[in-house]
Structure 1
Amino acid sequence: MISKERRKSILYAFVALLFSIVLYFNANGQSVQDTLSGNEAYTQNVSDVSVQLLYDTDQYYIHGYESTVTAKLSSANRVQLNAEAIEDTRMFRVTADLTGLGEGTHEVPLKIRNLSSAVKAKLEPDTITVTIEKKVTKEFEVTPLLTTESTPAGFELNDLELSPKKVTVTTGDQTLEEIQQVVARIEPAMITDDGVDTRVTVQALNSAGEPLSIVSDPVQVTAKATVTKPTKTIRLYGTAQGTPADNVESYDFSFSDIEAEVTGSESQLAQLGNSITIPIDISGIVHRTTRNIDIPVESGLSITPPSIDVEITPVLKTSTENTSRSNSGNSGNSGGSTTSGAGSTPANSSSSTTRQSEETQSTSSEGSNESSSETTQSSSQPNSQEDSSEN
């Protein structure tokens, strides 16, 4: 016979078990109900799921079908649902079995393979329409198609070249008969002001200019074209800027190049004129100095050479008489500057002026100029004052 204490223990155990069952169903009742009723707790739509075709790839060419579908996944297990939704961890695949079908157009049902038993899936659409043709291969010459023959800045494109010039096209036998030309279409976005240098996808077009289904080998060709840019030769002149040293009367400028070639649009070249003035900083220069100075051009233009070497030679003040003569000569000129016969731009800084070294200085105290093949821009006073005094 069971003792009183043992009966109490059994009663307590039964009550505890009853509470455990109640708590379990309270916590998991919804999940169990969903499972029993067939309703999954989680759902997710997965788009762009690839359709795999099962057919004889050596004999047939397939086209005219939707290559992707949408799969609606559902599962009570969130982890497994996510694994099937992500492409890198996905185990299932969608297939269309074409084996046993002949040439022509067919509607084929889609099937899901290798799907986890904990996940359900529904496809949209669940069938595809395919066209089956006999597989053929032929070599074609590729024709370039230009939607425009000029660059964004209006430069004219030269002859366009493709590499390779021929491709091998694989398609269906009926589609092959529709091919009028195989082309590489160069869109405006592929054209720059430097020309064309890009990879272009090969297309086959019918008589209406519509693309046909093909497989090209290679898939892309290289398209290249240069441009003819308007150019203009201009003269280079210098102008002194800055504050000369106290003991310097003027400066001679010697350029490594006196001409440059400017490239740009015709409208910009027309606005440019026939010369460019280069600002030369002479501040603090008391000895012969050579500097490399960039030639200034506005945006949209390019210049060759982009810079020149300028030899800057200071002409020192030699005597009070020469200084007086210089001041007297300057007083007869507007703005305190002179312009040499060669057309150099005068420097308007302090009392220094620019001139061309091709002129020979008339004052013997300043010494004779060096003979040079270079054309030298320098500062001097005009000889008209001396000539008038002699007369």
Structure 2
Amino acid sequence: MFTRNRVTNVMYALLSLVFSLILFFSTKSSNFTAGILSPNRFEETIQAVVIQPNYDADKYFIQGYEPTVTVRLSSLNRILLNGEINEETRTFRVVADLTQLEEGTHVVPLKVQNLISGVEASIEPTSITVTIERLETKTFPVEVNISNQNLAEGYQLTGAKVNPAEVEVRTGHESMLEIAQVVANLDSLEGINQNLSKEIPIYAVDKNGEILNTILSPEKVLVTLEIKAPQKEVPLTVEQTGTLPQGISHFEIRLSQQTAVLIGSLDLLANYQSLSVPIDISKIKEYTERSVTLSASEGVFVHPQQVLLTITPVPIVMKESSEDSKETSEESKETINSETQTQESNTTDQTSETSN
């Protein structure tokens, strides 16, 4: 039989065992629950997220703030996180609410809006400093900013046109007062050696040439440049090719003009002191007029492109022998004596008729 003390000891042992089991399973359950409630989170950082300010754009112009921020995203769901990372599927936006602010400079807190459930976000920086000005609109002519450094050596700018010639500028009141001109800047172009037609971005600048914060409409203009290439006037020289036809001593050749103008780069023009006009004389036996096309090396234009040549062949003169000369002289004398006798006879006849 069990004694009371022994029963008591057994009960204490059973109670201890029960409490031990309870503690064991309680610990396992806590670890399991913690594993469910605190899994690994996914994190991503997005650079240069554009800030979207909310304000009355018909009344105010804002400037002076950094337009982008860094956004850090975290989520337990990789698919949701990837959707927010991709700009095309992104739902959130970073906004600065200026609707209750007046003109002046303000520090404005940034907020994330429309963030999908299950994704958390933090912003860096958390605020921006922005200047609010009264909006003004004005029309300015566009000026072309170009120098000889934009042109190839020796080339000259003879004309520049802009379309449209005037543009609309929107900016704050203070900035509008600083505008010195609106320019189409061609500094990025080098070595221009021909007429050019190109769309060029335009900027509003102050008196020091610094670009001002403005909204231009349109943002680009069509610039047309007229460029004059270097020129050089050179004499024309006739270059006879072929062989002289039989019986021809030489040719007298005249040009419709004595010089031509060469147009091209300075390097190419330096190779010319004159320009030859080739003419093949092999088959020319009588007076001829011929149009010849002038040509130079590639990259050199010739004006005029054609000249007219008048070509007169000079025949070879044959020398007469001394005997032939004597016979000719005697024949000439006989002819003269015969003509003299005839004239005397005619004179005698006229005198006889007169006497009768």
In structure 1, C-alpha distance between the alignment counterparts of 2:279 and 2:151, rounded to whole Å: 33
Count of residue correspondences: 272
CA distance in 1: counterparts of 2:154 and 2:314, whole angstroms: 49
Aligned to 1:144: 144
Q: Distance in 1 between matches of 2:113 and 2:224?
A: 47
| Secondary structure at the counterpart of residue 89 of structure 1 | coil
Given that 1:190 and 1:196 are in contact with CA atoms closer than 8 Å, whether structure 2 keeps it comes out as: no
Shift of residue 53, structure 1, vs aligned partner: 0.8
Name structure 1 gaps, 5 residues minimum: 1-28, 245-256, 281-291, 309-355, 364-382
Report deviation, 1:279.
12
Counterpart of 2:109 in structure 1 is 109
Aligned counterpart, 2:300: 301
How far apart are the structure 2 equivalents of 1:190 and 1:230?
17
- Please report how far the alpha carbon of residue 119 of structure 1 lies from its aligned counterpart in structure 2 after TM superposition: 2.3
Match for residue 362 of structure 1? Answer: 315
Any conservation in 2 of the 1:236–1:277 contact (CA below 8 Å)? yes
Q: After TM superposition, list the pairs within 5 Å mapping 1:375-390 onto structure 2.
A: none
Q: Is the 8 A contact 1:72 1:121 kept in 2?
A: yes
CA-atom RMSD, angstroms? 4.2
1:1-391 equivalences in 2 (<5 Å): 33=35, 36-37=37-38, 39-41=40-42, 43-148=43-148, 151-189=151-189, 192-232=192-232, 235=236, 261-276=261-276, 295=295, 297-298=297-298, 300-303=299-302, 358-360=311-313, 362=315
TM-fit CA distance, 1:185? 2.1
Q: Which amino acid aligns with 1:49?
A: V
Q: Distance in 1 between matches of 2:122 and 2:221?
A: 41
* In structure 2, distance between residues paired with 1:38 and 1:122: 20
Q: Which runs of 5+ in 2 are unaligned?
A: 1-30, 244-255, 281-291, 322-356
Counterpart CA distance in 2 for 1:133 and 1:56 is: 11
Q: Residue deviations 1:34-93, cap 9 Å, x none? A: x7347513x332222221111111211111112222222233333222221121111111
SS of the residue corresponding to residue 57 of structure 1 reads coil
Change (3 A) 1:274 1:80: same
Q: Partners in 2 of 1:278 and 1:117 — Cα distance?
A: 87
Decide whether the 8 Å contact of 1:278 with 1:295 is kept in 2.
no
Sort the Cα spacing of 1:183 and 1:279 in 2 relative to 1 into closer, same or farther, 3 A.
Answer: same
Deviation at 1:100, TM superposition (A): 0.5
Q: Tell me, in whole angstroms, the C-alpha distance in 1 between the residues paired with 2:49 and 2:60.
A: 23
- Alpha-carbon separation, structure 1, partners of 2:153 and 2:195: 11
SS in 2 for 1:176: helix
What's the offset of the Cα at 1:278? 7.2
Q: How big is the shift at 1:180?
A: 2.5
Structure possessing the higher radius of gyration over alpha carbons: 2
1:219 CA drift (Å)? 1.9
3-state SS of 2:189 partner: helix
Could you say what secondary structure the match of 1:175 adopts? Answer: helix
Tell me how far apart the structure 1 counterparts of residues 226 and 58 of structure 2 sit (CA, whole Å).
42
Contact 2:150 2:189 in 1 (8 A): no
2:168–2:216 contact (8 Å) kept in structure 1: yes
SS in 2 for 1:71: strand
> 1:189, 1:74 → 2: CA distance?
47
- CA contact under 8 A between 2:153 and 2:266: conserved in structure 1? no
Aligned 8 A contact 2:194 2:227 in 1: yes
Distance in 2 (CA, whole Å) between partners of 1:37 and 1:361 is 115
C-alpha distance in 1, partners of 2:276/2:69?
A: 65
Distance 2:180 2:37 in 1: 62
The code of the aligned residue for 1:69 comes to V
Matches of 1:206 and 1:151 in 2, distance apart? 26
Deviation at residue 146 of structure 1 after TM alignment? 2.2
Secondary structure at the aligned position of 1:81 is classed as helix
C-alpha separation in 1, matches of 2:155 and 2:105:
49
What SS does the corresponding residue of 1:199 show, helix, strand or coil? Answer: strand
* 1:278/1:100 CA distance change after superposition, 3 Å: farther
Distance 1:45 1:305, change over 3 A: farther
Tell me by how many angstroms 1:114 deviates. Answer: 1.6
Identity value in percent: 34
Deviation track 1:191-240 (CA, whole Å, cap 9, x = no partner) reads 62114422222322223332211112222222222112123456486787
- The AA in structure 1 aligned to 2:176 is L
Give SS of 1:177's match: helix
Report the CA distance between 1:147 and its aligned residue. 4.1
Question: Conserved in 1, the CA contact under 8 Å of 2:143 and 2:181?
Answer: yes
Q: Give the TM-score normalised by the residue count of structure 2.
A: 0.62
| Residue in 1 that maps onto 2:327 | none
